[in-house]
A = this chain, B = another copy of it.
């Protein structure tokens, strides 16, 4: 019987993690299960840093961004002894299961712990990239889309007032969900994503036409990993010289590249805004609070029935669970259909 569960948050933080933690603790009381919060993701698991969480500890957490358990990108499978330390912590505290709230990376570690080490693991998908396979929505995505959309709304007024081509660089490693959703919602005139490589000369030509037809400004939403190629079909890579004197690369990704190319080829005033970390912070919007709460409650319900090795997911209008190994199918990519609709509004 499930009596004691651990919970950890891994990878980059996002809005709604605290809401998951709160839901897990509140729902666990219903089943008479005790929850142990593990600090700093898998690092805290390896280092035996955990503490009992009671109702009072999670009071007020629902609307708070980030994670009170903190988060790291630590991977215990990099060293055998780290894995055994994780197992030791689990056995020492007699944890009957482990809830891993994470993106692709952390859920993969969770799956390995389940498959290779027999740890009873449940996965809850969270990431502002929304790219975890098997679920329509990950915790944090709704809020990131809203924040990025509001930022693009703000850029509109400046672009209009100054006849600027305004580039907004959005987060999204290997995946264009955030850029495409926020670009569509923010009324961007062009959206560049990793899933749809674009010829820079095509973009230049299209921007020139747009401005010739009477529009005097443009908004270009660019995913940090957007793919570009030149007129000869050759991929344009990011400039390595963008490192600064200490060898640190700047925070800008593809947006910086696009800006430089447009400045060179376009002849209009071009401005770049890199939204950066503000996209992952702040109080979760209502839908993320709800998703986080439903996910947390469902994970505890499954644990109470002794079901592990499952991924909590949103599918077909409801919260359900799937085999955790579904994440082996890779990352979810933005559908061509969605992009085709978004392209209706280009130009």
Contacts and interface: CB of A to CB of B under 8 A. Distances in A.
Nearest to A141: B287
Given A27-B344, A157-B66, A272 B251 contact: yes
Contacts of A244: 239, 241-242, 256, 260
Contacts of A186: 286
A23 B276 CA distance: 29
Given A272-B251, A273-B251, A287-B142, A63 B187 contact: yes
B297 A158 contact: no
A161 B17 contact: yes
A9 B158 CA distance: 13
Given A157-B282, A256-B250, A149 B289 contact: yes
Taken together, the copies of this chain in the complex come to 4
Interface in A250-305: 250-252, 256, 259-260, 263-264, 271-278, 280-282, 285-287, 289-290, 293-294, 297
B285 A70 contact: no
Contacts of A147: 154
Interface in A150-164: 150-151, 153-158, 160-163
Contacts of A251: 271-274
A2 interface: no
Interface stretch (A88-96, A116-124, A192-200, A314-322): A314-322
A144 B276 CA distance: 18
Contacts of A335: 318
A252 to B, nearest CB: 7
Contacts of A15: 157
Interface stretch (A77-85, A102-110, A177-185, A221-229): A177-185
B26 A157 contact: no
A124 to B, nearest CB: 15
A286 B239 CA distance: 33
Contacts of A281: 153-158
A182 B318 CA distance: 17
Contacts of A277: 154-155, 158, 166, 271, 273
Interface in A45-67: 62-67
A154 to B, nearest CB: 3
B241 A263 contact: no
B316 A316 contact: yes
Contacts of A160: 66, 70
11 contacts: A23-B344, A70-B160, A70-B161, A70-B163, A146-B287, A149-B289, A158-B280, A242-B244, A273-B278, A274-B276, A316-B316
